[in-house]
Each structure stands twice: as structure tokens, then as C-alpha cells.
Amino acid sequence: MRCGKIVCVGQNYRAHIKELKSEVPQEPVLFLKPSTALIGDGDTIVVPPNLGRVDYEVELAVIIDKKCKQVSAAEALSYVGSVAVFNDVTARDVQSVARKAGLPWSLAKGMDTFAPMSSTLQISQVSDLQDLHLELKLNGEVRQNGNTSMMIFPVEEIISYASRFMTLEPGDIIATGTPEGVGAIKDGDLIEAKIDGVGKMRNPVKVMS
Ligand code: MG
């Protein structure tokens, strides 16, 4: 299936909101990444030169397999075909400048290779989307350790909310936010991200000079 748009949710875990010194949102904070940012397990995250801090963010992704518009939360999961591990790579310094100026985050989030995603697993293989353990290791050391039970807006509410405003189509990816523990990457790093019962992926980092 061709990758469509990548709809991401920002600030969906309280502890992460705290570490970014941000505020708990009243409604899901949505932003998009272009499909050209997508890479797979084993592919290299390539960071353009002179960007300042760039962060990893492990997230649960769900992939839409039926067109949906204005669906209720109760029916939302019937439009999901599969799930995957996702890394919402973020040029944090670029994002911070944009946030302070009230400008969009598109560039900070949308660069080529800034959307690593694992191979997918049929959603029927997952018993509870809201009880999945997420982990991210940087060079073998655990940096993020969370659970999807800690989401502010659960997956079905995110899909329902997004579908009120934008039609979701087969191949669209919904990235559901990151738990605390985000941090910077540098040239030569190896990122290993996994979600128990869903999948895992490894991505080396290349920072261009
Ligand atoms: Mg994120």
C-alpha cells in the first residue's frame, strides 16, 4: 500500500509535555509529515548540516485501510488495518524557534528520513492498543520507556477528531505521540525502537557536515 499523508499528534503524554515545558492541550494537536519523510527498518536517518539539536521520539503508529470521514470514536478502529513502531524525528531547535514565533512546525518535522517506521502488523494481532509498552534505546541504552495507557487522547479519539476535518484514506499513517525521555541524536548513533507485541526497528544516524 502506498504511504499517504502522515498525521501526527503532538503532546499526547503528560510527562513529555512537562519535559518540553508545554501545556496540556484541550484537543489533540495535529500536524503533518510529508510521505517523503518515510523510511524503513535499517534505513539511515540523514540529518542536514547545521540544524542544531535533533531528537528521536518513539511512537505507536496506526495505518488506515478504509477511507473515513467524520467517524465516531466507537467506530474509529474499524478503519485501521495495521500498526507499527514509528519515530517522529524532530529538529528540536528549528521547532523551538518556530514555536516561539507562533510559526508552523512543518520544516522541523518534515525533512527527508524524519519518519522511520517498522514493518506493520495486522491490528487483529494486537489485544489492546492502549496497553502497549514502548521502548527506545540510543546506542544500547534505554532512553524512552512508556506505555500507550498514558496517552491523553487514545487512538480512537485521535482518528475520530482528525476525521472531522480531513478525510483519512488507505495508506495514511497516524502517529500517536511520544512518552517522556526524548533526547538528541548525533552522527554515528544507533536508534533501536520497539513496541512489545508490535515490532521493532533499528536506524543508524548520519549527520551531514
Ligand atoms: Mg511526536
The total of structural domains in the chain comes to: 1
Rounded distance from Cα 209 to ligand 1 centre (Å): 26
Rounded distance from Cα 178 to ligand 1 centre (Å): 5
Q: Residue 2 above 90 pLDDT?
A: no
- In three-state secondary structure terms, 60 is strand
Task: Output the domain CATH number for residue 19.
Answer: 3.90.850.10
Rounded distance from Cα 70 to ligand 1 centre (Å): 24
User: pTM to 2 decimals?
Assistant: 0.96
Q: Which residues surround ligand 1, an ion (CB under 5 A)?
A: 57, 88, 178
1 falls within a domain? no
Q: Residue 1 above 80 pLDDT?
A: no
160 falls within a domain? yes
- Condensed to tens digits (0 to 9), the pLDDT of residues 94-110 reads 999 999 999 999 999 99
84 falls within a domain? yes
97 falls within a domain? yes
39 falls within a domain? yes
Rounded distance from Cα 90 to ligand 1 centre (Å): 8
- In three-state secondary structure terms, 167 is coil
> How large is the average pLDDT for residues 113-130?
97
**Percent of the chain predicted with pLDDT > 90:** 93
Dihedral-angle region of residue 50 (phi above 0 means left; psi in -120 to 50 means alpha; beta otherwise) = left
- In three-state secondary structure terms, 141 is strand
Domain that holds residue 90: 6-207
